[in-house]
Structure 1
C-alpha cells in the first residue's frame, strides 16, 4: 500500500537537470560518497562529524539544521550530534561541544550567527561573494576556526534562507529527495559521505520570489488532509483541515525545492483563521506568505469577509467595512514576512460589477496605501513592503486602459490559464522599482487537473521570455492539488532558482537527473525515463485528456488513431519494464510519479478511440461493433481499477464543463444485433481512408449514398506508408471464407485468403506494389476481387479499384518529396538556416504535438527589434511536388504554430512570413486582436487554439509548377514558435496531427 503521499491520490489524482555529480539537479556538486585526498568527512568509518550552530541564529535555520541531521541519518544510519553554541563558549579557550574532535561542521547565517561571525574573523574567510546578496550561500573547509577545532566545514548563508537552502542543497546531493515524504521517494543508503574541501556555493536566485499556489483543492487535497492531519474535524470557522501540521510539511517541501513563497488553499479555507499558528509557522520556517490575485491585503476573501463582516463586497457603498477588514488583515500579517496583494476583484474569482471604473480601482489602491501607513506608521517607508498587483483577466484590461499603481508595486502578469503568458513587460516597463513577475496556472476553457499534461519544454519556452524581459521579481505557479504535477512544479521553481542552468539543448537532462535522484536509476534507465516522461506529457498535451473525445484522432486517415494507440502501447511497455526492475521500496514512488500516469492515460486513450471505432463500425454494419463495445466497457472498468490501486476516491473521466463531474461517465457506445445478418450479405469490405463500407448502400460511400461505384485505394511511390489495407468483416453471425484476386501481377496481397466468424469478425488485407521499378511512370491501374463463400449462401463478390502512382525524381535532388498529395515537414528538419543580426531559429526539443519546435533565439536578439519580411533569420526547406491542387498551379501551406500570446506591446503582434521560391513573402499576424483584458474569440472553447495546442495558419500560393522548390519561413517578431509545416498539393486529408513527415531524400 502506498504510504502518506500515496494516499494523497486517493483523492488527488482524479481531480485533476542535470546531474553533475551526486544527486543534485541543476547545481554543481560538492558531495562525494568516498574519501578523496582533499575531501572533508561528513560520515566516515561509522562516525558522523558533529555539527555546531549558534544559539542566536534564526529559528528557521536551527530547525533546518535538525532536518540536515535527520537527512544524514536517513542516508548513512549515523546521526551527527547537533550542538547549539553560545557566545560564551566561543569566547572560552576551548570548545566543549567539540572536545575530542579535531573536525566539526559549522552552520550559520552571516551577520546573524555569532558563531559564523567568529569563524569568519578567525580564519579571515572571504565572504564578499555572498555578503548582502539575497539567499546566497557558500560552503568550504577552513582551518583552526575556533579554539580546540583543527578544521571545519562551514556552511554559510547570506541570509536566513540562504543558510536553509545551503543545508537542503547538501541534503539533496546526499540523496534525499524534496519529495521523500510527499511522493514516498526512498533515500539511497551510503556508508560514507564526504564533501570537497572547496565546497558548494550559489549566488542570488534569478527570480527573487518563487512559489506555488494551492488551488481547486477541493475535494481531493482537502479530503486527504482531513484524514492525515485532523481527527476528522476541521477548523471551527470553515471546517478546513489545512492546519499548521499540514502546512509545515508543505513549507519544508517548498524550501527543499528552493522555493520561498506560497499562496495558500483558498476555496474552503482561510489560512490565518483555519489555524492561528499557520502564519507563525510560515515565518518560522522561512516561507513568505501571500494571497491570490483575488484576495487583497492578506485576507482570505470571500471566506473571511463572509464570516466576519456585514454588508456587500461593494466598495462604493460599503467601503468603511471593507477598509477595516483590510486593515485587520495587514495588522495580523505585520509581524510576519508577507507579500501583499493589492487591488480588488469580485467574490469567488470574478470581475467586479459593470459599474467598476478605473477611478474607483485607483482609489482602492490609494486607500490600501493609506492602510499600510496607518498600520506600519507614517514614518515607515511603505515602498519597502512587498506588494503586487495581479494583471489577471479583466484587471489586465484596466491596466491596458490606463490604470496605474505606484512604481514600487510589482506587476504580476498572468497567463491564459493554459501556460501561455498574456503579455510580458515591454522595454518601458522593465525598470520599475517593484519589478514584474508571472502568475502561471490552469483553468478555462477546461481545467486539466486529472493527470500530468504539461511539457517542461513549454514551461521553459514561456518562462525564458519572462527572464529575458526582466519579469523576475515573483513567479507563482498554480499547482492545483500539488499532485500530479510534482516534477513540473519542481522544474518551474528550479528554473527560477537558477535560469542560467537551463537552455533549449539540455532540458531533457533535468528529467534524467530527476529520474536518477528519485529512483536511483542507471544512466540508460534514466534516459528511458526521460523518453517516457517526454512522450507521456507530449501525448497528453496534444489535447488534454479532459478534452479528448472519440474522434479527436482520425479513425480513417493517415492511420492516426492506430498510431496513437501503438504509441501508448509502446510507452506503457517501456514504463512497465522500468517498474518491474525496481526494488520494492522504490516502486511506490515510481508508480505515483511515472507509471500510474502512463497506465491511466494509455487506458483513457484506448477507451476513447475504441468508442470512436465502435460508432464507425456500427455505421458500416460490421459485427466487430460489439467487440469494440466490450473493449470500451473493459477499459472503463480498468480506469476504476487503476483508481483503486492509487487509493483514489474520485476520477475525472467524462468532463462536461470546467469542473470535474460527480460521477464517471463512459463515452457513448452502440451495438449491432448479433443474431441478424446485414441486408447486403455476410461480407463487409472497408478500404483504408474511407468511412464507407461495401456492398450495399452507405451514406459515406459517395455523395448521394446509394448506387455508388466500387471503392478504390491509391498507392504512391513516395508515400510514408508502403501499403494500404482493406478490412474484411462479418456483416452478421454467419461465418465465411474469402479469397482476394488481383487483375495485375505487380500487386502484393497479404494475406490472399482468410476466414471470418463471430468469434473473429475482422481480418485485414494489406496491398502493396511488389517492385516499383517494374511499373510504368504515372498512373497504373488494377482491380481486386474479394469473394466470400458461406454455407448455404451464394458467393458474394466485391471489387476494389487500385491506382498506383509512380513518380520519379530528377537526379541530384535533395529534400522533401510529395507523397499522397501533400508534403509534411517537422519544422526543425531544415535544409538550410540563415542568421541575421545574431539571431537564429533554434530548436526546442520535445516541444509540441509531434516532435519538436523552433523559435528565434536569443529571445531579445536584434536589440529586441523585429525584422521586415525577408530581412531576418530564415528557415529553408527544399521540396519536390508532382502535383498542384486540381492542376491549377495552386498550393496551400499550413503552418502549425504554438498558441502563444503577444510577448510585446499591442503594436507588435506575433508575426512571421512564408515564401516559396522568389514569390513575395506573405506575412501572417496570426493571433487575432482582442479587447483589453480578454482573449481572441478563437482562443478558447473545446476546439479553440489552446484546446488543439496549435494555431493552424493557412497561406495560399499560385503559379507553381511540379518540380523542385524552396519554402522559407522568415522571422519577423520574436517568440513565434513553429512546430510543423504542411504543403497541400491536392491530396491533404483531415486529421488532428497532420500527415506523418514526408520522405526526405
Structure 2
C-alpha cells in the first residue's frame, strides 16, 4: 500500500509523504531532479560503512538495511569499505551511487570523504548528537556521487539512520506495538539531505518501574526458559534489553533506568551492561540506587552489614566502589546521594552533614576508580525526590557539576524548577516525571491516563527554566504508555518543534504514521485519543468509584457514560475499517484502552445507580445488579483478548489488577463493586409505583431520608427549571416498587407544560420509564416564578389507585436589553476559561488556550513563558461578562477550577492570580499553600484531594447585586492554567466536573 498525504502541523512545513515525528523530512517516494534514489525500479543503492565505525552505528546500519527491505521488499547490500588512506587493501568502488554512513572523527571512511571533498561539517563538528546528510560529488575514487550520512558522534549517526527509517515508513513501534510498515516501491532522499542540531535535552530516558505483575511475567514467558537470573530470578536479560535499546534509540532517546523491582541490571545478565554501551544507550540507576548498583537487591546479595551509613560506612563504600568499577568501561550517569532501603526515606536522625559526607565519599570513589582528581566530566545526578528535596531546602548542597534532578509529585506536577540563581550551575538541572506510579493516594499503573497536553504544559516550563540536562520518565511496564513515552522523548529531542498552539497535532502525526491514515482519518483518531486520555485523566481509573460522578445533578454520570459510548463507537468504527494486519496495533494503542476504560466507567456508574435505586425501593435495582456483574466479567474478557492476540505475543501485559482498591496499594485480585438487590416477590410498603424526580436521592411515596430533613412526613417533590438552564428539561422516573405490573397516567394542570409521555406501563420486565418535563414556549409564562402540578397516577389490578403529585416550578428570567455574555441558569454561571469576552496583552504576554488540557474543554495560561510576574491587577487579564438574577445575602462566590500544579517557582514565589468583579478591589488568590521541606501541601493528599480529583478549586466571595457584571482574572505569576470558572449565585449543587457551561447571549 502507498501513503501520500499533506497536512499542516502548526509551525512545521507542509510535508509530502511520511513525516518523522519531530523531524523535518527529506524523504519522498517519487523521483525528481534534486533527489537521490535509495531504491528505484527495484534496485537499491549499496550501503557502505567503515569497519572501524562504532559497533552501535554498525547495528543501526544493519537495521537501516532491514528497514529499507521492509518498506520496498528490496534488500540493499551493506558492506565494510576501506579507503586507500586507511588500508593498503582498499575496497573496490561500488557499482552505482552508494549511501555512505559514518561518524565524524571515528570513521576513516567519513574522514577521508571530508578531507578529499572539503565537505563543510562545521555545523555539526564537536556537537552532541548532531547529524547532517547530503549528496556529495566524487566522494571516493571511481564514485561520482553518494548520499552521505554523517553523525557528529555515534548517536548522531544512529539517530540519522533511524530518522530516515521512520520517514521511509517504519514506526519505532514496529515490534513493540506491531505497527505494520508502510510500503513503497521506491524511496528517494533530497540531495540537500536532512540535519538535526543539538537536542533540547542532553539525556532523554525512560525508567522501567512497578514492573510486576505485567512486564515481568511477560518477559519471563518470552525471554527465558522458565528460569530467571541466578541471584534474583529476574527475566530481564540481554534478549529483552536489546529490544528495548533499539526502541529507545528509534525514538531519539539515549538513557535508561532499568527494571529494579526484583531485578539487578548489572548482575542479572553479564551482557546487559556492555550491550547497552554497544548499542549506544547511556545507563543510569534510579533515584534510590546510588553508584550504579541496584539497591536494595544487590546489597541483599553482596552487601555486608546493614544499610546504615552511620554504623556501616566502610562496607557501603566498598559496595559502591565495586559498582563504579563495574560501570567504568561504559557510558553511564551516576546517581549519587543515599535513600533508605526499598524506596523509603532514610532514618529521621539522618542529618544534612551526614549526607554531604556521603556524597564527598562517593566523589572520592569516582576519583579512585577513574584515576582522576577532577570528576566533573563524569555525569552525576542528585535526585531531589520526596524527602531529599527537603534536604536541599534545609541547605544541603552538592558539587556544582552535579545535575540537580527535580521531580514531579508522582502525578505529573513538577515540584520545583531552577530559580534564576540556580540556572548557572555547570551541572544544570533535569526532571524526573511519571506516567505510572505506585504510592499515595493510590497506585495508577493499569492503563493510559496522562494527557500529552499536561506533559507539554509542565515540561515546557522545564525548558523555559533550563531544567534541560536530563529528563527521565517513569513508564512502569512501558506497554500501556507507548504514545506518551514517545511524546516525552520527542519533546526532549526537539522542544522547539512543539508549542502550546500545535502540541495537539502530535497526535495527528502519530495517528497518520501508525495507522496509515489520510489526513481526515488521522484527525479522527487524534480526537479519539485526546478524549481517551482526557476521560481517564479526569480521575485515574484506579480512583473511580460508584459515586465519583454525580448520579443526580447535572446529569453528570449519564453524560460521562454517553461520552464513553460515543468514543467507543468511534473507535470501533475505525478498528473495523482497518486491515487485519493493522488491527493489532490499533487495538493495543487505542481500542483496548477505550474498551476497558469505558467498561469500568459503565460498571461503576451502574453500581452507583444500583445502590441508589435500592434506597429508593425500585425493582430496577436488580437489573442494574445484573449489569454490574456482566460488566465485571467483561473486564476479564478484554484482558484475555489482549493476551491472546498475535498468538499470545503480549500475554501477561494486562495482568495488572485495577478493580477493588481499598487503600493505596494494588488489590491482590480484581473485585466487583458492591451491589444491592431487592426482593423480586415483595411490593414496596408505599405501593406499586415509585416516583424519583431528577436532582434528588429521594423517591415518593413513602419515607426516605433524602426527601426532607426529618425523613418522614415530607411534602411532595418539586422540580425546578428556568429559561437559561443549559439542560432544557427535567426528568421524573416512574419505577416499579415490586412485582405487580401497573399502568400509569401523567397529567399537568397547566397548558404550558410539555410532557414526553402521558401514559405508560410498568412491569418486572420493563421496571421503569423516564418522563421528561419541559417548557416549549417560554413566552407563554409570566416573568418570574411559575408553578404547575404534574400528577402521576398508577392503576394496578387488585391494588388501590396511587397518585403522586409533583410540583414543577418554572422561572422566567430576562437579562437587560443589549447584554452580551453568559447568563445565570439554575442559580449558576458556568464558563469554560477559554471563552473570555476579552483578553488583554501586557508586555507581550496574554492568556492563551491550551487545547484539550483539562477535564472538560481546555485550559488557559499566560504565554509566552518567562520570569515575569505582575502586581495584583496589573498583568494580562481575561474578562468574562455575565448576568446574574440571584445572589446569596448579597454575595456570589467565584470558584476557579485550576489545573493541578505545585509552587514550582518555590513557596516564596507561589503560583497566584488575581480575581475581580467590576471595579471592586481585586483579590489575590494563592491556591497552593506552602509545604514542609520535602513534603506536599495541605489539600494534595487523600482520595478526594486535588491531585486525585485532577483539579484545584478556589472560592472567592464578592458582593454583587443582580444585573450585568464583568469577572476579571489577571496574571500574577506564570504557570497557572485555568480550566473553568463557576459563579455560584445560590444554585450550585455538588458534582465532580462542575455545572455544564451556561448559555451565552
TM-score (norm 2): 0.96
Q: Aligned ranges for residues 581-600 of structure 1 at < 5 Å?
A: 581-600=577-596
Task: Output one character per residue of 1:610-656: Cα deviation in whole Å (capped at 9) or x when no partner.
Answer: 00000000000000000000000010011011011111445322222
Q: In the TM superposition, what is the alpha-carbon distance from 1:97 to its structure 2 partner? A: 4.8
Indicate whether 1:461 and 2:457 are aligned: yes
Indicate whether 1:486 and 2:487 are aligned: no
Indicate whether 1:390 and 2:383 are aligned: yes
Distance in 2 of aligned mates of 1:267 and 1:400:
29
Indicate whether 1:786 and 2:792 are aligned: yes
Distance in 2 of aligned mates of 1:165 and 1:659:
40
Distance in 2 of aligned mates of 1:825 and 1:937:
27
Q: Which moved more, 1:75-84 or 1:121-130?
A: 121-130
Distance in 2 of aligned mates of 1:563 and 1:122:
69
Please, which of 389, 397, 407 is the counterpart of residue 404 of structure 1?
Answer: 397
Please, which of 744, 747, 750 is the counterpart of residue 744 of structure 1?
Answer: 750
Q: Which residue of 1 aligns with 2:995?
A: 995
Whether the aligned pair in 1 keeps the contact of 2:31 and 2:188 (CA below 8 Å) is: yes
Whether the aligned pair in 2 keeps the contact of 1:643 and 1:651 (CA below 8 Å) is: no
Indicate whether 1:433 and 2:439 are aligned: no
Task: Output one character per residue of 1:655-706: Cα deviation in whole Å (capped at 9) or x when no partner.
Answer: 2233322111000000000110001111110111011000111110000111
Please, which of 9, 32, 36 is the counterpart of residue 36 of structure 1?
Answer: 32
Distance in 2 of aligned mates of 1:67 and 1:998:
56
User: Aligned-residue CA RMSD in angstroms?
Assistant: 1.2
Distance in 1 of aligned mates of 2:220 and 2:82:
41
Please, which of 789, 803, 810 is the counterpart of residue 797 of structure 1?
Answer: 803
Q: Aligned ranges for residues 11-410 of structure 1 at < 5 Å?
A: 20-21=15-16, 22-88=18-84, 96-98=92-94, 100-101=95-96, 103-379=97-373, 381-410=374-403
Whether the aligned pair in 2 keeps the contact of 1:90 and 1:146 (CA below 8 Å) is: no
Whether the aligned pair in 2 keeps the contact of 1:18 and 1:513 (CA below 8 Å) is: no
Q: Which residue of 2 aligns with 1:962?
A: 962
Q: Which residue of 2 aligns with 1:876?
A: 879
Q: CA, structure 1 residues 945+769, in 2 after alignment: closer, same or farther (shift >3 Å)?
A: same
Indicate whether 1:852 and 2:858 are aligned: yes
Q: Which residue of 2 aligns with 1:865?
A: 868
Q: Which residue of 2 aligns with 1:547?
A: 543
Q: Which moved more, 1:518-527 or 1:469-478?
A: 518-527
Whether the aligned pair in 1 keeps the contact of 2:816 and 2:964 (CA below 8 Å) is: no
Q: In the TM superposition, what is the alpha-carbon distance from 1:18 to its structure 2 partner? A: 9.5
Distance in 2 of aligned mates of 1:613 and 1:74:
52
Q: Which residue of 1 aligns with 2:648?
A: none
Distance in 1 of aligned mates of 2:621 and 2:500:
46
Task: Output one character per residue of 1:887-917: Cα deviation in whole Å (capped at 9) or x when no partner.
Answer: x211001101112011213311111111000
Q: Which residue of 2 aligns with 1:7?
A: none
Q: Which residue of 2 aligns with 1:683?
A: 689
Q: In the TM superposition, what is the alpha-carbon distance from 1:849 to its structure 2 partner? A: 0.6
Q: Aligned ranges for residues 581-730 of structure 1 at < 5 Å?
A: 581-647=577-643, 648=652, 649-730=655-736
Q: Aligned ranges for residues 510-529 of structure 1 at < 5 Å?
A: 510-529=506-525
Distance in 2 of aligned mates of 1:942 and 1:151:
65
Q: In the TM superposition, what is the alpha-carbon distance from 1:798 to its structure 2 partner? A: 0.6
Distance in 2 of aligned mates of 1:572 and 1:172:
30
Q: In the TM superposition, what is the alpha-carbon distance from 1:89 to its structure 2 partner? A: 7.6
Q: Which residue of 2 aligns with 1:907?
A: 908
TM-score (norm 1): 0.96
Indicate whether 1:505 and 2:501 are aligned: yes
Q: Which moved more, 1:822-831 or 1:930-939?
A: 930-939
Q: Which residue of 2 aligns with 1:571?
A: 567
Please, which of 383, 406, 413 is the counterpart of residue 413 of structure 1?
Answer: 406
Whether the aligned pair in 1 keeps the contact of 2:83 and 2:91 (CA below 8 Å) is: no
Distance in 1 of aligned mates of 2:768 and 2:934:
54
Q: For 2:143, what is the secondary structure of its paired residue? A: coil
4+ runs of 1 displaced by more than 6 Å? 89-94
Whether the aligned pair in 2 keeps the contact of 1:165 and 1:255 (CA below 8 Å) is: yes
Q: Matched residue pairs, number?
A: 976
Whether the aligned pair in 2 keeps the contact of 1:95 and 1:146 (CA below 8 Å) is: no
Distance in 2 of aligned mates of 1:462 and 1:97:
52
Indicate whether 1:919 and 2:920 are aligned: yes
Distance in 2 of aligned mates of 1:784 and 1:539:
38
Q: For 1:382, what is the secondary structure of its paired residue? A: coil
Distance in 1 of aligned mates of 2:174 and 2:832:
40
Whether the aligned pair in 1 keeps the contact of 2:287 and 2:383 (CA below 8 Å) is: yes
Distance in 2 of aligned mates of 1:829 and 1:937:
31
Q: Which residue of 1 aligns with 2:781?
A: 775
Whether the aligned pair in 2 keeps the contact of 1:747 and 1:770 (CA below 8 Å) is: yes
Distance in 2 of aligned mates of 1:90 and 1:370:
42
Q: In the TM superposition, what is the alpha-carbon distance from 1:865 to its structure 2 partner? A: 3.1
Q: CA, structure 1 residues 228+97, in 2 after alignment: closer, same or farther (shift >3 Å)?
A: farther
Q: Aligned ranges for residues 819-830 of structure 1 at < 5 Å?
A: 819-830=825-836
Whether the aligned pair in 1 keeps the contact of 2:719 and 2:809 (CA below 8 Å) is: yes
Q: For 1:540, what is the secondary structure of its paired residue? A: helix
Q: For 1:195, what is the secondary structure of its paired residue? A: strand
Distance in 1 of aligned mates of 2:368 and 2:656:
48
Q: Which residue of 2 aligns with 1:971?
A: 971
Task: Output one character per residue of 1:21-79: Cα deviation in whole Å (capped at 9) or x when no partner.
Answer: 41411211011111122111001101110000011111110111000000001111111
